[in-house]
Chain A
């Protein structure tokens, strides 16, 4: 059976909260993967930034989970991770070995923009006023995250003029 898509028009507040938690969970997992990749490929500064993002996504996820539990306790969810595709998770293609912290932050920034666009685009289909209010709130938070990442980028010195390509092994044969 093919995984059903999210029916935004009929999303309940419980499902909307679960969806928001899963969005954070997906992003957190992706940053974990990226941090591991950077550590494996000797890119510690980018790894450190991705670890910082793991903390951020986890914190936001925990806050949403607390709200969910407070209102709906452990009522089973009907929303699953398989209904999502990279909502706030940065795309796999966004990282490279030896990427600079600036590029790592730019990848995170692009992911926050993507998440904003998801919540913004979803609003048109949502009918339930409580769900709508939640999505407006989530959209606003994504905007805040963008501002935070932008501020972090602004603190960085300009990137070294060397490109990632300079770290690739030279050809084994030369003219």
Chain B
């Protein structure tokens, strides 16, 4: 039997031969499945996709896909992804990493990605802990959280990534969880399809250093699809209202999607290049200018 299927690509076409070495039970196993499904639904061939990550457990993810991958430097997935997108605008560019990578060392890049509106989908696997380095507090760890290096509990308020991204002006902000696999894949797909910078926060439990209340069973019990509360994803203020409950509620779905996406940085650059090219010297004469000098 050779099923032809109804799509040009299937999820398996995006799965590499490399086997994940995450801890058994890790939420990231399901996340990568969701990415395979989303990419199959988009239908771009793997060689037209660049997948960039930083450092951390979740940053291993590009290697588990057949796309071009770059497991880069801690916190620097976004600037590298931006460079790739500008160098080859035809590529579909994805960036991924964890909450430590994205909101701590890499946190300074977020507002700039948003204000430039780079056409990149950024997927964060948020587990509220630094898992790879054996369980230290991360920027999304809740206040009071004890860890191997905070025996008396964290004194800091956590970052609220959803609220940050909305406040920065991101055109697409969503949250997903492997408790709802089809929902998660659909959100990733929508993020990739959004023409501009799209942010997806995925609650992906750490089975080794996460607490009982952060595991899949507990998340399933508190998950609330935004559709079920009649949320209007075209309303940024409504999105900010729901996003305030990050850490106390688990709202899943698209918080905000700009119904009229502004041009991307790539579009503006192209437009500028076309406008300026009228007065530009022919390429062969540029060297002459230097020689005359």
A residues touching B (Cβ–Cβ < 8 Å)? 1-4, 18, 21-22, 33-34, 36-38, 40-41, 43, 65, 68-69, 74, 76-82, 85-86, 91-97, 99, 168-169, 171-175
Q: A91 to chain B: closest CB distance in Å? A: 8
B19 at the interface (CB under 8 A from A): yes
Q: 3 nearest interchain CB pairs? A: A77-B3, A80-B5, A92-B29
Cα(A4)–Cα(B181), bound, Å: 15
Q: A173 to chain B: closest CB distance in Å? A: 5
Known contacts A77-B3, A78-B3, A82-B11, then 6 further A-B pairs from the complex at CB < 8 Å, ordered by chain A residue: A36-B19, A80-B10, A94-B25, A96-B207, A172-B134, A175-B151
Checking A37, A38, A85, A169 against B181 with a beta-carbon cut-off of 8 angstroms, the contacting residue is A85
Checking A2, A41, A76, A174 against B41 with a beta-carbon cut-off of 8 angstroms, the contacting residue is A2
Cα(A41)–Cα(B208), bound, Å: 12
- CB within 8 Å for A1 and B41 given contacts A92-B25, A172-B148: yes
**Number of residues on chain B facing chain A (CB within 8 A):** 39
Q: A105 to chain B: closest CB distance in Å? A: 15
B1 at the interface (CB under 8 A from A): yes
- CB within 8 Å for A65 and B1 given contacts A82-B11, A82-B40: yes
Q: B25 touching A78 by the CB < 8 A rule?
A: no
B178 at the interface (CB under 8 A from A): yes
Contacts of A172 in B (CB 8 A): 134, 148-149
Q: A92 touching B5 by the CB < 8 A rule?
A: no
Query: B127-169: contact bitstring with A at CB < 8 Å (1 yes, 0 no)?
Result: 0000000100000000000001101000000000000000000
- CB within 8 Å for A3 and B41 given contacts A81-B12, A168-B208: yes
- Can you give 23 A-B contacts (C-beta < 8 A)? A3-B7, A4-B6, A18-B1, A36-B19, A41-B24, A69-B1, A74-B2, A76-B4, A77-B1, A78-B5, A80-B5, A81-B10, A91-B30, A92-B26, A92-B178, A93-B217, A94-B25, A96-B23, A97-B24, A97-B208, A169-B134, A171-B148, A175-B151
B99 at the interface (CB under 8 A from A): no
Which residue of chain B has its CB nearest to the CB of A93?
A: B216
Contacts of A82 in B (CB 8 A): 5, 7, 10-11, 37, 40-41
B101 at the interface (CB under 8 A from A): no
B119 at the interface (CB under 8 A from A): no
Q: A2 touching B149 by the CB < 8 A rule?
A: no
Which residue of chain A has its CB nearest to the CB of B31?
A: A92
Q: B24 touching A38 by the CB < 8 A rule?
A: yes
Cα(A24)–Cα(B171), bound, Å: 41
Q: B30 touching A77 by the CB < 8 A rule?
A: no
Q: A58 to chain B: closest CB distance in Å? A: 15
Contacts of A43 in B (CB 8 A): 24
Contacts of B1 in A (CB 8 A): 18, 21, 65, 68-69, 74, 77
Which residue of chain B has its CB nearest to the CB of A21?
A: B1
Most buried by A among B1, B29, B134, B217: B1
Contacts of A171 in B (CB 8 A): 148, 151
Checking A2, A76, A81 against B186 with a beta-carbon cut-off of 8 angstroms, the contacting residue is A2
Checking B7, B26, B134, B151 against A80 with a beta-carbon cut-off of 8 angstroms, the contacting residue is B7
- CB within 8 Å for A3 and B216 given contacts A37-B24, A99-B24, A171-B151: no
Cα(A34)–Cα(B26), bound, Å: 12
Q: B286 to chain A: closest CB distance in Å? A: 45
